[in-house]
Amino acid sequence: MHVKAVRRGIPALLLAATAGLTLAACGSGDAQSSSPSSALPTTAGASVPGGVPSAPESTPTATSGSDSTGGAASTGATASVTPGGGGSGGASSGGSEPACKTSQLRITATNRSSGAGHTTFQLMFQNTGSSPCTLSGYPGVSFVKGHDTQLGKAASRTEAKVPIVTLIPDSHAYADVRTVNGQSGYSAAKCDLTTVPTLRVYPPNQKESTDIPWNEKECVGPTVQNLQVGPVHTKK
Protein backbone atom coordinates (compact mmCIF):
# COMPACT_ATOMS: atom_id res chain seq x y z
CA MET A 1 0.00 0.00 0.00
CA HIS A 2 2.76 2.43 0.84
CA VAL A 3 4.81 1.76 -2.30
CA LYS A 4 1.87 2.47 -4.63
CA ALA A 5 1.25 5.83 -3.03
CA VAL A 6 4.83 6.95 -3.75
CA ARG A 7 4.61 5.94 -7.40
CA ARG A 8 1.41 7.97 -7.83
CA GLY A 9 3.14 11.10 -6.41
CA ILE A 10 6.08 11.06 -8.89
CA PRO A 11 4.03 12.19 -11.92
CA ALA A 12 2.52 14.96 -9.86
CA LEU A 13 5.97 16.26 -8.91
CA LEU A 14 7.15 16.09 -12.50
CA LEU A 15 4.08 18.02 -13.66
CA ALA A 16 4.66 20.72 -11.06
CA ALA A 17 8.33 21.06 -12.04
CA THR A 18 7.47 21.33 -15.74
CA ALA A 19 4.91 24.03 -15.04
CA GLY A 20 7.45 26.01 -13.01
CA LEU A 21 10.00 25.87 -15.82
CA THR A 22 7.40 27.03 -18.32
CA LEU A 23 6.43 30.01 -16.15
CA ALA A 24 10.10 30.96 -15.66
CA ALA A 25 10.75 30.86 -19.39
CA CYS A 26 7.73 33.09 -20.12
CA GLY A 27 8.82 35.61 -17.49
CA SER A 28 12.33 35.77 -18.95
CA GLY A 29 11.02 36.45 -22.50
CA ASP A 30 8.68 39.20 -21.32
CA ALA A 31 11.49 40.97 -19.50
CA GLN A 32 13.77 40.98 -22.59
CA SER A 33 11.16 42.37 -24.95
CA SER A 34 10.30 45.30 -22.67
CA SER A 35 13.88 46.43 -21.97
CA PRO A 36 15.10 49.42 -24.15
CA SER A 37 17.85 48.87 -26.73
CA SER A 38 21.21 50.22 -25.73
CA ALA A 39 21.61 53.93 -26.87
CA LEU A 40 24.37 54.95 -29.28
CA PRO A 41 26.19 58.21 -28.54
CA THR A 42 25.61 60.91 -31.20
CA THR A 43 27.45 64.06 -32.11
CA ALA A 44 26.62 66.99 -34.41
CA GLY A 45 26.74 65.72 -37.96
CA ALA A 46 26.70 62.00 -37.05
CA SER A 47 24.00 59.66 -38.32
CA VAL A 48 21.54 58.08 -35.94
CA PRO A 49 20.71 54.50 -37.00
CA GLY A 50 17.26 54.39 -38.50
CA GLY A 51 16.82 58.17 -38.21
CA VAL A 52 17.61 61.36 -40.14
CA PRO A 53 21.21 62.65 -39.97
CA SER A 54 21.53 65.74 -37.82
CA ALA A 55 22.54 68.80 -39.85
CA PRO A 56 26.07 70.16 -39.38
CA GLU A 57 26.47 73.73 -38.26
CA SER A 58 26.28 76.03 -41.26
CA THR A 59 28.69 78.88 -41.93
CA PRO A 60 26.94 82.15 -42.87
CA THR A 61 27.97 83.60 -46.22
CA ALA A 62 27.58 87.20 -47.36
CA THR A 63 25.44 87.64 -50.46
CA SER A 64 26.10 90.16 -53.18
CA GLY A 65 24.62 93.53 -52.28
CA SER A 66 24.45 92.88 -48.54
CA ASP A 67 26.87 93.43 -45.72
CA SER A 68 27.70 90.92 -42.99
CA THR A 69 24.93 92.25 -40.74
CA GLY A 70 22.26 91.49 -43.31
CA GLY A 71 21.60 95.10 -44.25
CA ALA A 72 22.03 96.54 -47.70
CA ALA A 73 25.66 97.17 -48.51
CA SER A 74 26.75 100.57 -49.66
CA THR A 75 27.94 100.50 -53.27
CA GLY A 76 30.53 103.10 -52.47
CA ALA A 77 29.85 104.48 -55.85
CA THR A 78 30.58 108.23 -56.00
CA ALA A 79 30.71 110.66 -58.87
CA SER A 80 34.30 111.28 -60.06
CA VAL A 81 35.55 114.88 -60.08
CA THR A 82 38.12 115.97 -62.63
CA PRO A 83 40.33 118.65 -61.09
CA GLY A 84 40.74 121.82 -63.10
CA GLY A 85 43.76 123.95 -63.69
CA GLY A 86 44.91 126.88 -61.60
CA GLY A 87 42.42 129.72 -61.30
CA SER A 88 42.71 132.88 -63.30
CA GLY A 89 40.61 136.03 -63.27
CA GLY A 90 37.99 134.67 -60.90
CA ALA A 91 37.36 131.38 -62.71
CA SER A 92 37.18 128.18 -60.67
CA SER A 93 36.81 124.48 -61.39
CA GLY A 94 33.56 122.77 -60.39
CA GLY A 95 30.16 124.21 -59.53
CA SER A 96 26.55 123.65 -60.48
CA GLU A 97 25.74 126.91 -62.27
CA PRO A 98 23.98 126.88 -65.68
CA ALA A 99 26.02 126.56 -68.87
CA CYS A 100 27.39 129.77 -70.35
CA LYS A 101 25.40 130.86 -73.39
CA THR A 102 27.09 132.34 -76.44
CA SER A 103 25.23 135.59 -75.88
CA GLN A 104 26.88 136.13 -72.47
CA LEU A 105 30.43 135.41 -73.63
CA ARG A 106 33.04 137.57 -75.31
CA ILE A 107 35.37 135.30 -77.26
CA THR A 108 38.76 136.43 -78.53
CA ALA A 109 42.01 134.87 -79.76
CA THR A 110 45.06 135.67 -77.63
CA ASN A 111 48.59 134.54 -76.75
CA ARG A 112 49.50 133.71 -80.34
CA SER A 113 52.92 132.11 -80.84
CA SER A 114 54.50 130.62 -83.99
CA GLY A 115 57.22 128.00 -84.10
CA ALA A 116 58.73 125.52 -86.53
CA GLY A 117 55.83 123.98 -88.42
CA HIS A 118 52.97 125.16 -86.21
CA THR A 119 51.27 128.10 -84.50
CA THR A 120 49.55 128.06 -81.12
CA PHE A 121 47.08 130.47 -79.58
CA GLN A 122 44.33 130.51 -76.98
CA LEU A 123 40.65 131.18 -77.22
CA MET A 124 39.64 133.37 -74.28
CA PHE A 125 36.05 133.22 -72.99
CA GLN A 126 34.94 136.17 -70.85
CA ASN A 127 31.67 136.13 -68.92
CA THR A 128 30.00 139.44 -69.78
CA GLY A 129 26.76 138.51 -68.00
CA SER A 130 25.59 139.41 -64.51
CA SER A 131 25.57 135.90 -63.01
CA PRO A 132 27.96 132.92 -62.82
CA CYS A 133 27.87 130.25 -65.53
CA THR A 134 29.89 127.16 -66.40
CA LEU A 135 31.94 125.95 -69.36
CA SER A 136 32.89 122.31 -69.79
CA GLY A 137 34.17 120.48 -72.84
CA TYR A 138 35.58 121.39 -76.24
CA PRO A 139 34.69 124.44 -78.31
CA GLY A 140 33.92 123.99 -81.99
CA VAL A 141 36.49 125.76 -84.17
CA SER A 142 36.75 126.19 -87.96
CA PHE A 143 37.92 128.56 -90.68
CA VAL A 144 35.18 130.21 -92.76
CA LYS A 145 34.76 132.74 -95.51
CA GLY A 146 31.79 134.71 -96.81
CA HIS A 147 28.36 133.06 -97.06
CA ASP A 148 29.28 130.69 -94.21
CA THR A 149 31.54 128.55 -96.37
CA GLN A 150 33.89 126.42 -94.29
CA LEU A 151 37.53 126.30 -95.37
CA GLY A 152 39.36 123.05 -94.64
CA LYS A 153 38.52 120.66 -91.84
CA ALA A 154 36.98 121.66 -88.52
CA ALA A 155 39.28 121.36 -85.50
CA SER A 156 40.03 117.92 -84.13
CA ARG A 157 40.12 117.41 -80.36
CA THR A 158 43.28 116.85 -78.38
CA GLU A 159 42.88 114.35 -75.55
CA ALA A 160 42.93 115.92 -72.09
CA LYS A 161 41.01 116.00 -68.82
CA VAL A 162 37.78 117.98 -69.02
CA PRO A 163 37.07 120.14 -65.97
CA ILE A 164 33.91 122.10 -65.22
CA VAL A 165 34.91 125.76 -65.15
CA THR A 166 32.69 128.24 -63.33
CA LEU A 167 32.93 131.80 -64.58
CA ILE A 168 31.79 134.61 -62.31
CA PRO A 169 30.96 137.88 -64.08
CA ASP A 170 33.96 139.41 -65.91
CA SER A 171 36.18 136.32 -65.37
CA HIS A 172 37.93 134.29 -68.07
CA ALA A 173 38.50 130.73 -69.25
CA TYR A 174 40.73 129.43 -72.05
CA ALA A 175 41.06 126.74 -74.70
CA ASP A 176 44.34 125.90 -76.43
CA VAL A 177 44.39 125.81 -80.25
CA ARG A 178 47.12 124.69 -82.64
CA THR A 179 47.36 125.28 -86.40
CA VAL A 180 49.80 124.49 -89.18
CA ASN A 181 52.27 127.35 -89.66
CA GLY A 182 52.03 128.38 -93.29
CA GLN A 183 52.62 125.61 -95.82
CA SER A 184 54.76 123.71 -93.33
CA GLY A 185 55.86 120.35 -94.75
CA TYR A 186 52.96 119.98 -97.17
CA SER A 187 53.18 120.36 -100.91
CA ALA A 188 51.59 123.49 -102.35
CA ALA A 189 48.80 121.45 -103.93
CA LYS A 190 48.01 119.55 -100.75
CA CYS A 191 48.23 122.59 -98.45
CA ASP A 192 46.18 124.94 -100.64
CA LEU A 193 47.51 127.95 -98.72
CA THR A 194 44.67 130.48 -98.53
CA THR A 195 44.05 133.74 -96.70
CA VAL A 196 41.31 132.94 -94.19
CA PRO A 197 39.10 135.91 -93.24
CA THR A 198 37.29 134.44 -90.22
CA LEU A 199 37.79 132.03 -87.33
CA ARG A 200 34.43 130.65 -86.19
CA VAL A 201 34.02 129.47 -82.58
CA TYR A 202 31.17 127.63 -80.89
CA PRO A 203 31.37 127.62 -77.07
CA PRO A 204 31.07 124.12 -75.57
CA ASN A 205 27.55 122.67 -75.88
CA GLN A 206 26.17 125.72 -77.71
CA LYS A 207 24.60 126.02 -81.16
CA GLU A 208 25.29 129.72 -81.68
CA SER A 209 28.75 130.77 -82.79
CA THR A 210 31.01 133.81 -82.62
CA ASP A 211 33.16 134.95 -85.57
CA ILE A 212 36.65 136.31 -84.89
CA PRO A 213 38.45 138.33 -87.61
CA TRP A 214 41.47 136.28 -88.73
CA ASN A 215 43.05 137.25 -92.07
CA GLU A 216 45.90 134.72 -91.86
CA LYS A 217 47.26 132.37 -94.50
CA GLU A 218 46.29 128.81 -93.62
CA CYS A 219 46.47 125.36 -95.17
CA VAL A 220 42.87 124.54 -96.04
CA GLY A 221 43.38 121.54 -98.33
CA PRO A 222 40.68 118.88 -97.87
CA THR A 223 43.15 116.26 -96.59
CA VAL A 224 45.01 118.52 -94.15
CA GLN A 225 44.02 118.50 -90.45
CA ASN A 226 45.06 122.07 -89.74
CA LEU A 227 43.18 122.93 -86.54
CA GLN A 228 43.44 121.13 -83.20
CA VAL A 229 41.65 122.27 -80.01
CA GLY A 230 41.72 121.26 -76.34
CA PRO A 231 39.04 121.50 -73.64
CA VAL A 232 38.23 124.69 -71.77
CA HIS A 233 40.36 125.26 -68.65
CA THR A 234 41.47 128.07 -66.35
CA LYS A 235 45.17 128.38 -67.18
CA LYS A 236 46.23 131.43 -69.14
> Which pLDDT does position 146 carry in this prediction?
87
91 falls in which pLDDT band (50, 70, 90)?
Answer: low
Are the C-beta atoms of residues 143 and 218 closer than 8 Å to each other?
yes
> Which pLDDT does position 94 carry in this prediction?
56
Domains of the chain with bracketed CATH: 92-229 (2.60.40)
Phi-psi region of 15 (alpha: psi -120 to 50; beta: other; left: phi over 0): alpha
Segment 197-225 shows an average pLDDT of 97
> Which pLDDT does position 229 carry in this prediction?
98
Q: What residues pair up with 123 in beta bridges, in sequence order?
A: 109, 175
* Cα separation, 132 vs 97, whole angstroms: 6
> Which pLDDT does position 95 carry in this prediction?
58
115 falls in which pLDDT band (50, 70, 90)?
Answer: confident
Tens of pLDDT along 43-79? 333 333 333 333 334 333 333 333 333 333 333 322 2
Task: Tally Cβ neighbours within 10 Å of residue 74.
Answer: 7
Tens of pLDDT along 96-105? 899 999 999 9
High-pLDDT (> 90) share of the chain, %: 54
> Which pLDDT does position 89 carry in this prediction?
43
Which amino acid is present at 207? Answer: K
With a cut of 60, say whether residue 181 has pLDDT above it: yes
With a cut of 50, say whether residue 3 has pLDDT above it: no
What is the distance, to the nearest Å, from the Cα of residue 88 to the centroid of all Cα atoms in its chain?
Answer: 32
> Which pLDDT does position 176 carry in this prediction?
98
